[in-house]
Structure 1
Amino acid sequence: MAKDFYGELQLGILGGGQLGRMLIQEAINYNVNVHVLDPDKNAPCRKLCNRFETGSLSDFETVYNFGKDLDMITIEIEKVNVDALEKLEEEGVMVYPQSRVIRLIQDKGLQKQFFKQNGIPTAAFQLISNKENLHDTHISLPYIQKLRKDGYDGKGVRKINDVAAIATAFEEPSLVEELVDFEKEIAVIVARNDKGQVSTFPLVEMEFNPEANLVEFLISPSTLSFEIQTQAEEIAKKIADDLQIVGLLAVEMFLTKDGQILVNELAPRPHNSGHQTIEGNITSQFAQHLRAIFNLPLGSTAVRTNAVMINLLGEPNYEGMAKYDGVEEALGIEGVFVHLYGKKYTKPFRKMGHVCIVNDDRDEAIKNARFIQEILKVKA
């Protein structure tokens, strides 16, 4: 970066949720000025940044006016106005990840086409314009239907088991994807700076909440074979290079029962599958994202110890002012780090925080994590 930015750089973050909050906590170390735009006046970032602005991330004028006097903009959510970001780029504002990358990743259909064009292994798919097209697909039932746009955290995804289920399918443009018989869901986070330096975090294994389709348990480092881990990391590096992305990219993948790796989806930002890096790795995903967008040397991603991350989700049947049960008991266990996101209100399955459990004994880390899952609850 040409500018001597330490203490001078005006950094904008589109989105004021927990990812932005943790990014600010790291950005403080670089002494940059952080500005945040979010539609929620009670967003987790509201009290941590130099300037907090309430406004729509989808509105052209709002995003453009927020960013026009800043040096750099990054995101913590993909659903933003890309046209405004393109105009800001044209006017000299640095936007990382680049607007063209965000535009591609906003559309799951374009993502899939990108995989196909670049030889990235992924499940067979077909793009459709409306649910009537589901009666005539080359993908065999049962299959997965995904909205091309605006799906997140398990929303916008449906399993179509039979012809009768088509009646309740999404009407909007979507993609049909072959149902993958997978052994495990895995992820690799990769970073790339503007010099072209690329670095991956070690592969992680994930467990999902079956009701909410959200990651609720993550284990690092993986015990999968060296070959599988290397292959997954190489796929992530290839995607980062093919995209020429600047910033962080989470690559979510399936490991099939016959040992294949298939890329599922991409997220061009810090990600839920990297929260354990705060305590578990030499460089956290948030520090790495800042190093990448500031075009600094990327940090070591080496694992310090075994780390298990569990999401704190709002309990079913509770909605209202958040109340946390079991925090004191959890913190009485060695190697437990609680991160509460500062969200005022809880609702079922809302991400309210996460806990990282570290231990040199992997089995002990997992045991402690399972215990904390039982005792730490977010209620109202």
Structure 2
Amino acid sequence: MDYFSSDFKLGILGGGQLGKMLLYETRKYDIFTRVMDPGEDAPCRIACNEFVKGDLMDFDAVYRFGKKVDVLTFEIENVNVSALERLEKEGVKVYPSPATLKTIQNKAKQKLFYVDHNIPTAPFTRFAYTSEILTSLKNESIRFPFVWKSAQFGYDGRGVKVIRTYSDLDDLPNVECITEEMIPFKNELAVIVCRSTEGQVTTYPVVEMEFHPTANQVEYVVCPARIDAKVAEKAQLVALRVSEAYKHVGLLAVEMFQTQNNDILVNEVAPRPHNSGHYSIEASYTNQFEQHLRAILGLPLGSTTSKVGGIMVNLTGEEGYTGKVKYRNMEDIMKLDGVTPHIYGKKETRPFRKMGHVTIVNKDIDKAREIAEKVKNTIKVVS
């Protein structure tokens, strides 16, 4: 099929920042795009060929949208899978597949998938309702502290909470969930695996993620991860095992823990471009968004090698500020060598909302980390 300057139509479900960055690549190749998002002012709106306002969880809206494209992909997991299944049966190419997404959408099913495929993961317990956790605590089948995760609709730190006392359970929604044992890990790592429709598979270097202590959001992504080469190789192999088990098409970001004993445990995955791969826009020969596009269209995959060390700093809304966004001290960080800001186009800020990111590139990764710290302490997302 001819994708370039042709009648081919690529559909993208979700119009947020990931879709916007994917559109940088579709515009580079002059690939026609349709995007659907519930928000009138979605970041993707300015860059796609056609924009449709619609509820991503509504069967009819997703189905009608998908019937007007040749290939359908998504930049967020919370979409109507039943509609995707119908579209796939009727000949629309959906990547990653509805079967892959159906498992990943539910964290309880995702964890059971790892057990069934002998993929190392943290010990967990599944609950139909949060209220059942009290009984398990009284029976001592689980013990404090542990991590509570909503089975569905959790992302960017939402739907996740560390539980240390009974009072920490008070404000949790009474929904299907899992509890995980607290892992005394050395590092949180991630590997992005790309698999094309033609069966070609490649991986990006292992990255190291540093999280905000209370928001449970990534603050820094460091590439390459500052870990032993043998640990990095182990993480790559585990990520490839996960990819092979899912048999996905497109990107699969595999988040992992490196334990004190240097074991690798899979935390969770995302079947799309991912925050842990944003550094690749400046630091890699082929960035994650172009790679995803190549994979779902069956084009040759590009090199995932890094040209230079890269660090990504998330720009999130400051605590205490809600309203029309203002980026304070942007000019100061732009004076620094190797610094590139990316602003997502969200007009309203609120505490911890992802509003953009900054990439720092440098041949010396430790120097890049120093600059990243300076960037984080300088720029403020306020209202």
TM-score (norm 1): 0.97
Where does residue 94 of structure 1 map in the other structure? 93
In 1, distance between residues paired with 2:68 and 2:130? Answer: 44
The residue matched to 2:43 in structure 1 has which SS? coil
Give the whole-Å Cα distance in 2 for the aligned partners of 1:46 and 1:238. 37
Q: Deviations over 1:187-206 (max 9, x none)?
A: 00000012221111000001
- Residues 14 and 57 of structure 1 are in contact (CA less than 8 Å); yes or no, is this contact kept in structure 2? yes
Match in the other structure for 1:50: 49
The amino acid that maps onto 1:374 is N
- Counterpart of 1:156 (choices 148, 156, 159) is 159
**Aligned-pair Cα RMSD in Å:** 1.2
Amino acid aligned to 2:337: E
**SS class of match (1:302):** coil
User: Is the aligned partner of 1:136 residue 2:136?
Assistant: yes
* Distance in 1 between residues matched to 2:226 and 2:212, nearest whole Å: 21
Identity of counterpart residues, as a percentage?
Answer: 47
Residue ranges of structure 1 left out of the alignment (5+ in a row): none
How do 1:26-41 and structure 2 match up within 5 A?
26-41=25-40
Which residue of the other structure, out of 360, 363, 376, is the alignment partner of 2:366?
363
Q: How does 1:104-183 map to 2 (within 5 A)?
A: 104-134=103-133, 135-136=135-136, 138-183=141-186
* Structure 1 partner of 2:5: 7
Give how far 1:5 is off.
Answer: 2.0
Asked whether the 8 Å contact 2:283–2:361 carries over to 1, the reply is yes
**In 2, distance between residues paired with 1:165 and 1:122?**
24
Following TM superposition, where does structure 1 have runs of at least 4 consecutive aligned residues deviating by more than 6 angstroms? none
Residue 311 of structure 2 corresponds to residue 313 of structure 1: no
Q: Does 1:372 align with 2:375?
A: yes
Q: 1:286 is paired with a residue of what secondary structure?
A: helix
Structure 1 stretch 257-266 or stretch 129-138: which is displaced more? 129-138
SS in 2 for 1:252: strand
Which of 203, 211, 219 aligns to 1:208? It is: 211
The aligned amino acid for 1:5 is Y
Give the residue type in structure 1 aligned to 2:353: R
Question: Could you list the runs of 5+ residues in structure 2 that have no partner in the other structure?
Answer: none
Map Cα deviations across residues 230-273 of structure 1 (whole Å, 9 max, x no partner): 11111111111111100000001111112111100110000000
Letter in 2 for 1:16: G
1:45 is paired with a residue whose SS is: helix
What is the CA–CA distance in structure 1 between the aligned matches of 2:207 and 2:65, rounded to whole Å? 36
SS of equivalent to 1:131: coil
CA contact 2:238–2:264 (8 Å) conserved in 1: no
Aligned length: 378
The alpha-carbon deviation at position 165 of structure 1 amounts to 4.0
The residue type paired with residue 221 of structure 1 is: P
Shifted more, 361-370 versus 238-247: the winner is 361-370
Shift in CA distance, 169/344, structure 1 to aligned 2, threshold 3 Å? closer
Q: CA deviation at 1:211?
A: 2.2
After TM superposition, the score normalised by the length of structure 2 is 0.96
Q: CA deviation at 1:168?
A: 4.1
